[in-house]
Structure 1
């Protein structure tokens, strides 16, 4: 076991985690040169196109040190986006050390700091590494001082590499052998293994990614998943080299996979403990929690007849993504669909993209919402994530909304604009500011989650010219003064366009929303009023003018009464059409809330 090293690679988005994994694969000869490709571990097309990691990717390589000893190194390449924080946390629980990667051109960013604190909580040995030193705009000295000031690691311990060119990567592997402690554990103890990820294979069922802490697991063993007490027989165990390679067993200290005929990913959740069904352990590994969606949106098929196909597509997608939550829903405007829960906006975007690519589904998504806690006058407590189901004002005693702790790292010249954005526009409260080394400041706020769900990230990047970065964590529910803003199109309520807003902002948001909808909904043969209603009265209105035919074109002079008669006839027709006509609302209109800030930018 002393020759096993388990590490994970942690960093902000786009700091080069997957590129570093590529170079390690090349140096250790784990892949034949002809099979090598860029971003080898990113298996999804979306990951490769966007240059982001969505799923954790484990990897086992064998490396012969300069002293001639052969070592087994298990590496976990983790996602960098804030939506997948829990996956990163569980990946850290599966290893003894972490490579903290910092981009020399961008310096320490919000996710870098958040991940470092997590690694320290897990008591990991951290190896700080500055990447992209080959780029002409690399600012190595400043990045060193940021790591020293913000994370407290002395600059003489910071390793410098270029993952793209391969510079310094072999020295980094030597550093891993020297600094990362070997795993502890005993093969003769009862089986104790942590699930840090899982994926679904349509031929083999669920493939569980595990770190074995104690005991041994081999094909034919009976295992039990701790949280639901389900038992299964192991059919295959193996390692990622980097393809899945079967082995005779997985022992204490190993990272690998288990196939045991599990039918759904939701039965093998990230963070759960696996033990022997015959000799189970008494207490599971700490840190397991149910993943809770942060953002909810309505999802409807582009053509109502495809409801059943959308249901099947979501079922298949959920097999691979246990964080996706959905339940049937109905909207008078859009027909039958689903109310879906996501980890965040990126997760929502990825799910929509995968439905389009993998299942050829065209879907209509409504504007995202968060989950509110409402106490009714009869004392009942309910959770609402759909504005259409928001109770009447007279029934509500108190409303609580979710709050987050928001950290923004920025150069000092943008502090004023960012404070204005968070405090004035987004109802945030400033908690503290910290100096983050030369030309960097950390701003910490407490903000309602609903305020950063829409276009906050884009606005933050716009006011800071792309220099600011953010990270957030959920801190609980707080009492708030909220109101439902219902939208009426042609005097008919359209539930899918309703939103929940703070009373102080209800009029402003309603005004912008009706104006935006008037731009997005095409003209019809009749006049369409668009109204926003809150607190039992109309608070904003915009009108889409009717498409009019020039009925006077054929009149060349003559009596004016003839013209009046033709105009009157047209007026009657328009009036009748408004009563019986139906308004077709395009997909963009349902995401109007997301586009309200377009003009401000």
Structure 2
């Protein structure tokens, strides 16, 4: 165990984590030159295309220092706020962390929140100044920020470049010298923490784990504590670029375990694995329970695919433990699932992965957040979906969730960002200057307001410089109303939204105008209405496609033309009674991007 070092990489989005990880793998010859490519750990096509890390990735490297060979277990983590749950799991499996800061941008919001996570777990922090090869690097200024943040010496900060390989050797030496060895006991009962898992159609569930105490061998009878299930271990091994089988995993090491588990829900991330015959006294404290922020309905386009969607969801949840779902049905869309996501990017990624990895074509409804509705009878109901709101007469008041948001930006953008947050019903709590031209602003904001497009708008008005991080606060009373969309008098439940009273009129009007553009014309007029309760607040009409029935009348009496037009009118009226209006998928998506 003296030769093992477990560490993760934490940073803000786009500060060069994956590129630096590539250089570490190259330097330790973990990946040979032929297999080397950019972002080698980002295995998903989506990650390669978007240049972001979505999943944490574990990999083992061998490194020799002063004639001694060391095993380094690296876990590369995502930087986006929507995937902070992945980061919390990686941190639980490590003893040290490389804190990477972009020398051209300095410290940002996500850097700070991930750093606090690492400090809470008592990890050894190694500060690294990345992208030193760029002309606009400002090492002295950023070093001052780092010293102010973690109180280290200037000599502790490593200047590096993921692109050119500058400082890589120094980083590896510091990992060996500074990061403590794991504190497990080999003779103690087996205790291992599952921090991730994937589904393989041939091998079943493959769980990635860190052995805290004891030894895990092939052929052992093991028990998953929280799931209360027992299995025989078919294979254990180490994670390099592929999976390498080993006869045993000792305390302190990170690896994988295969037990031929075919049901995805039996393996939970954060569960403890122990021996059936000599179990450990207590399970390891996993990471905090995930709290979904945004709820949306996911429905198969073809209702026959419902069971396939359920199976796809199960397998996806195994690989992405922050996704929660439960079955629900809608009058407009049939059977589907109400899913909980950590944010809009997470929702988009899940939808994309369902399409690519499981070939599932799905419709996603308008995202909502969780509301607490207090009724006149003194009950409190949790409402995830506007269509689940009780009758207006029985509602006493509605509480909505609030978040505390930290925004770090250049001082030039304070005005526009403040306007944006105040428009979203936010309250400014404090404003601190970190340096002469960098400001940290703290707001309290309703979660329902930032769900749609807040992050995109923030990035646009700050030219990409503002960084944003948030955590849940509490529930506060608000004057909310349910806005319904009616097509020919029929309510489309998937388009209903809960919205603040002051914004309802303008939102309803914009929604009707948008739907008018997107709903294809039929043989009859379609009335699109926005309503609050029984009160219609806006209306648009999609005109009917009409045949020119009077074209064959050359002159003659006007009554001949009128007779034909009346006959057409009757036909249209009859058609309207039996016709139904299909809402196209892009109409659901357009509602999200109204601005």
Which position in structure 2 is the counterpart of 1:254?
A: 253
State how 1:269-284 maps to structure 2 within 5 Å: 269-284=268-283
State the TM-score, normalizing by the size of structure 2: 0.94
Provide, for residues 479-506 of structure 1, a one-character-per-residue CA deviation record: whole Å limited to 9, x for no partner. Answer: 3322211110111111111111122222
Match of 1:333 in 2: 332
CA drift of 1:559 comes to 4.4
Does the CA contact (< 8 Å) of 1:142 and 1:438 recur in 2?
A: no
| SS of equivalent residue, structure 2 residue 594 | helix
C-alpha separation between the residues in 2 aligned to 1:433 and 1:281? 49
1:513 counterpart SS class: helix
2:127 is equivalent to residue 128 of structure 1: yes
State the match for 2:487 in structure 1: 489
Deviations 1:422-459 (A, max 9, x none): 122x1222222222224211111121211111111111
Aligned pair in 2 of structure 1 residues 390, 15: CA closer, same or farther (>3 Å)?
Answer: same
Q: Distance in 1 between matches of 2:69 and 2:436?
A: 42
* Aligned CA distance change for structure 1 residues 237 and 11 (closer, same or farther; 3 Å): same
Where in structure 2 are there 5+ consecutive unaligned residues?
Answer: none
- After superposition, the C-alpha distances for 1:270-298 in whole angstroms (9 at most, x for unaligned) are 22333333233333333544333322212
Whether contact under 8 Å (1:367, 1:592) holds in the other structure is: no
Give deviations 1:303-353, integer Å, cap 9, x for gaps.
334334433433443343343333333222222332222232222212211
Q: Do the aligned residues in 1 keep the contact of 2:265 with 2:314 (CA within 8 Å)? A: no
Aligned to 2:462: 464
Mean alpha-carbon deviation: is it higher for 129-138 or for 405-414? 129-138
> Within 5 Å, which residues of 2 pair with 1:200-599?
200-424=199-423, 426-554=424-552, 558-597=556-595
Given that residues 192 and 274 in structure 1 are in contact (C-alpha distance below 8 angstroms), is that contact kept between their aligned partners in structure 2?
yes
Mapped to 1, the partners of 2:271 and 2:436 lie a distance apart of 42
Distance 2:150 2:487 in 1: 54
Change (3 A) 1:145 1:545: farther
Alpha-carbon deviation of 1:367?
Answer: 1.1
Distance 1:288 1:359 in 2: 28
SS of the residue corresponding to residue 87 of structure 2 reads helix
- The DSSP-based 3-state class of the residue aligned with 1:223 is strand
Preserved CA contact (<8 Å) 1:199 1:265: no
The 1-side partners of 2:92 and 2:358 are apart by 35
Deviation at 1:173, TM superposition (A): 0.7
Asked whether the equivalents of residues 217 and 251 of structure 1 are also in contact (C-alpha less than 8 Å), the reply is: yes
CA shift for structure 1 position 536: 3.1
Q: Which moved more, 1:228-237 or 1:161-170?
A: 228-237
Contact 2:195–2:210 (CA under 8 A) maintained in structure 1: yes
Partners of 1:433 and 1:573 in 2: CA distance: 66
Query: 1:20 maps to which residue?
Result: 20
Separation in structure 1 between the aligned mates of residue 311 and residue 206 of structure 2, nearest angstrom: 21
- Deviation of residue 265 (structure 1)? 4.5
Q: Aligned partners of 2:412 and 2:40: how far apart in 1?
A: 39
Are the equivalent residues in 2 in contact too, given 1:56–1:77 (CA < 8 A)?
A: yes
CA change 1:133–1:554 in 2 (3 A) is: farther
Q: Which moved more, 1:499-508 or 1:92-101?
A: 499-508
The 1:406/1:177 distance shift into structure 2, 3 A limit, reads same
Q: Using a 3 Å threshold, how does the CA distance of structure 1 residues 304 and 258 change in structure 2: closer, same or farther? A: closer
Q: Classify the secondary structure of the residue corresponding to 1:232.
A: strand
Provide, for residues 537-564 of structure 1, a one-character-per-residue CA deviation record: whole Å limited to 9, x for no partner.
2222222223344445555655444444
Secondary structure, counterpart of 2:209 in structure 1: strand
Deviates more, 1:372-381 or 1:389-398: 372-381
Match of 1:10 in 2: 10
* Alpha-carbon shift at residue 111 of structure 1 (Å): 0.9
- Written as runs of structure 1 = structure 2, the 5 A alignment for 1:100-115 is 100-115=99-114
Q: 1:267 to 1:289 in 2, by over 3 A?
A: farther
1-structure distance, mates of 2:304, 2:192: 45
Cα distance between partner residues in 2 of 1:142 and 1:556: 85
Measure, in 2, the Cα distance between the counterparts of 1:82 and 1:18. 17
Identify the residue that residue 41 of structure 1 maps to in structure 2.
41
CA contact (8 A) 2:227 2:268 kept: no
When the two structures are superposed, what TM-score results if normalisation uses the length of structure 1?
Answer: 0.93
Question: In 1, are the aligned partners of 2:369 and 2:447 still within 8 Å (CA)?
Answer: yes
Q: Which residue of 1 aligns with 2:62?
A: 62
Aligned CA RMSD, in angstroms, stands at 2.2
Alpha-carbon separation, structure 1, partners of 2:124 and 2:406: 24
